[in-house]
Amino acid sequence: MTLEHYPNDDDQSALLEAQQVLAASGVAPAPSGYDLTTLAAAVYARGWAYRIDRSAGSFQAEIRPQRDGANQPLGSKSGWTADVALAFALAHALLRQTERSGQSMTRVTG
């Protein structure tokens, strides 16, 4: 049995998809790419907060609204570095936000 190197091709593909979601949502990369500072600024600009934990060789990022009592995360994903985990979580939160706004628009118009 051989161990796969992390990140593998599927991980890299998932990161590319997350970066496409970020770009489509108006989150521009820094000249060096999507770094932790750029991603954190995008989180805060939307009125959200983030937390990153390290466990078992990977990082877990979670995004939540900044208001008190908000206990449902907007996005929670793992990655092989802190910035990758935050990129995944932010892309997930942005997709959920888009889905929610699309659903509420459907209810209003339909």
List strand residue ranges (DSSP E) for the chain, in order. 48-55, 58-65, 75-79
Q: Do 89 and 76 form a contact (C-beta atoms < 8 A)? A: yes
pLDDT, tens digit, 9 for 90 and up, residues 21-47: 999 999 999 999 899 999 999 999 999
The answer to whether residue 80 is domain-embedded is: yes
The per-residue pLDDT for 68 is: 64
| Sheet order of strands, 58-65 included | 48-55, 58-65, 75-79
Quick one: pLDDT band at residue 5, thresholds 50, 70, 90?
A: low
pLDDT of residue 104: 39
Number of domains in the chain: 1
**Burial category of 29 from C-beta neighbours within 10 Å (exposed 0-12, middle 13-18, buried 19 and up):** middle
pLDDT score recorded for residue 109? 32
Rounded to a whole number, what is the largest CA-CA distance in the chain?
Answer: 55
Q: How do residues 42-76 score in pLDDT, each as one tens digit? A: 999 999 999 999 988 899 999 998 876 666 788 89
Whether residue 12 is contained in a domain is answered as no
Question: Does residue 11 sit within a domain?
Answer: no
Could you tell me if residue 90 is inside a domain?
yes
Report the CATH number at residue 44.
3.30.160
Within a domain: 17: no
Q: Judge whether 10 lies within some domain.
A: no
Range of the domain at 69: 30-109
- Indicate whether 107 pLDDT > 60: no
pLDDT band at 100 (very low <50, low <70, confident <90, very high): confident
Q: Assess if residue 64 is contained within a domain.
A: yes
C-alpha R_g of the chain: 15
Flag whether 88 is in a domain.
yes
Average the pLDDT over 78-101 and give the result.
93
